[in-house]
């Protein structure tokens, strides 16, 4: 595939291409295309061998990490990041005692975690930072937190 064609592709197009033909990774090296990838979790969920090319781990949301957990090797990597821990705790709440990132969770991480694991509400220190979207999503699954929302208004 020609350099110009690859360089003009969007992140989504590049990811689709690599998912379909991983052998094109040599072109990504040659043309320095790895930095164009935004949606790393979509690529790594199907092609985990490219993990060493990813330089955007800190930008992953809890959902991005969650998408990777079909690949068990990503759990240890996730423990390095607050959003990674939020995703881990939705699946393995028994690991809460090992989490060292509570204070670093974003409001989005908290909303996402509390949707499925309301038992961690006492650890949440970001209630006042929840967006309307965070509240809407959380209250859909955990209406008992409506009182917390009313305190923030």
Global pTM reads 0.89
* Cβ 50 vs Cβ 25: under 8 Å: yes
* Cβ 118 vs Cβ 132: under 8 Å: no
Q: Would you tell me how many other CB atoms lie within 10 Å of the CB of residue 135? A: 19
Contacts 24+ apart (CB under 8 A), 134-143: 134/107, 134/108, 134/110, 135/111, 137/111, 137/112, 138/111, 138/114, 140/115, 141/115, 141/116, 142/114, 142/115, 142/118
User: For the purposes of burial, counting CB atoms within 10 Å of the CB of 52, is it exposed (0-12), middle (13-18) or buried (19 or more)?
Assistant: exposed
Helix extents (H) in 31-73: 40-46, 62-68
Residues in the chain where the model's pLDDT stays below 50: none
* Cβ 76 vs Cβ 57: under 8 Å: no
* Cβ 71 vs Cβ 44: under 8 Å: yes
Q: What local confidence, expressed as pLDDT, does residue 153 receive?
A: 64
């Amino acid at each position: 595939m020609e350099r110009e064609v690859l360089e003009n592709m969007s992140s989504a197009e590049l990811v689709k291409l690599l998912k379909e033909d991983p052998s094109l990774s040599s072109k990504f090296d040659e043309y320095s295309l790895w930095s164009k990838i935004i949606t790393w979790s979509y690529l790594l969920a199907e092609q985990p061998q490219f993990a060493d090319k990813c330089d955007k781990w800190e930008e992953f949301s809890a959902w991005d990490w969650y998408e990777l957990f079909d690949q068990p090797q990503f759990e240890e990597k996730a423990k390095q990041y607050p959003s990674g821990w939020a995703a881990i705790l939705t699946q393995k709440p028994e690991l809460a005692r090992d989490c060292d990132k509570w204070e670093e969770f974003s409001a989005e991480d908290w909303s996402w975690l509390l949707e499925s694991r309301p038992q961690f509400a006492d650890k949440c220190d970001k209630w006042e930072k929840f967006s309307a979207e965070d509240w809407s999503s959380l209250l859909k699954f955990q209406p008992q937190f409506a009182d917390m929302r009313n305190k923030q208004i």
